[in-house]
Structure 1
Amino acid sequence: MEGKARPEATAAEAQYAMDRMIALAQFGQQDIAGRLGLNVTDLTCLGFVIEAGMAGESLAAGDLAERARLTTGAVTGVLNRLEKAGYVRRQADPGDRRRVRVVMEESAQARILEVYGPFYERIAALFADYTPDEVAVLADWFTRATDAMQVSLEETRRGGPAPGEQKVP
């Protein structure tokens, strides 16, 4: 399959488009969290639980705290709210009774897909408009951009370069 002609763009134009998408996604996460009766932190943590489940893994509460960069006390509050809202339940780890596993409630997936489904259908249709090679480039870019964003976030959290300072490579 040959790719469609795409409009030319500079790196600056692509970065501007990315910035607009990220800003819209932040507002979207707030709106989606609200529709699901959650706050954004709880929705983010629920996403980590879903991701682990899709990978066939179970997620311990401590692992969730680490992924979400929250204290174990804060994760307890998140889990209390997610449990009360019917999205997850806690389960004792059969290998270590001191650990708690977080498990999705079966009814939760349908509730989540009701909100996210239309968006994912639109994105699937968008990806279908690209050749497999173009999708591979997009996937590579998203993966590498995520890595670059992670490094930048870690720098920011450490107090990284002050505004106006140049980072020495």
Structure 2
Amino acid sequence: MNGRTDDARARRRLVSGLKRRFREVNNQIALLSHHVSTQVDLRDIDLDCLDYLAQHGPASPSALARRVGVHPATMTGVIDRLERGGFIARERDEDDRRAVVVSARQDAIGEVFRHYEGMNARMDALCDDYSPAELELITGFLQKTADAGRRAVEDFS
């Protein structure tokens, strides 16, 4: 019985350490993104919205507001700033001419994301230490972690 208790305790310590590392990673990425947003004269939320559009493609302002967790009125200001900066295009929805869709301008986001080259190079070097099977395992774990995060956000809705 004592072996099981020790194993359970060791596992709890490992899981607790893993969660602490995730918080540390989150803090470092937030800090990096804050520095990048300053370099390109955007607010942090503007950069978050631009990143969402770059990853997921065009969205209506209301859908984007829901996805990034901001009030629709706040999203209007975000979109206005991104459009003034030349980072996004605001167009009529092809299916509903009354609706608007915003999309990231590929030429502009390249300039923004080049500020992440140092981190990307460090990630490439880090990944060189892992086998393809290990990278698949890590990728799967991170996907499940992102899914857990999305479900946790939904709990607030």
- Decide which structure has greater helix share: 2
User: Any unmatched runs of 5+ in structure 1?
Assistant: 1-8, 159-169
What TM-score do the two structures reach when normalised by structure 1? 0.76
For residues 72 and 10 of structure 1, do their structure 2 counterparts lie closer, same or farther at Cα, with a shift above 3 Å needed? closer
Q: Distance in 1 between matches of 2:24 and 2:106?
A: 35
Paired with 1:115 and 1:40, the residues of 2 have a C-alpha distance of 14
Matches within 5 A, 1:1-169: 10-53=14-57, 58-155=58-155, 157=156
The alpha carbon displacement at 1:48 in A equals 1.0
SS at match of 1:149: helix
Whether the aligned pair in 2 keeps the contact of 1:87 and 1:104 (CA below 8 Å) is yes
Inter-partner Cα distance in structure 1 for 2:19 and 2:68: 26
TM-score of the superposition, structure 2-length normalised? 0.81
Mapped to 1, the partners of 2:48 and 2:106 lie a distance apart of 19
Between the aligned partners of 2:111 and 2:123, the Cα distance in structure 1 is 19
How many angstroms does 1:16 deviate by?
2.5
**Structure 2 Cα separation of the partners of residues 147 and 94 of structure 1:** 31
Equivalent-residue separation in structure 1 for 2:70 and 2:17 (angstroms):
35
| Residue identity (%) | 24
Q: Offset at 1:75?
A: 1.2
How many residues are matched? 145
Question: Where does the alignment leave 5 or more consecutive residues of structure 2 unmatched?
Answer: 1-12
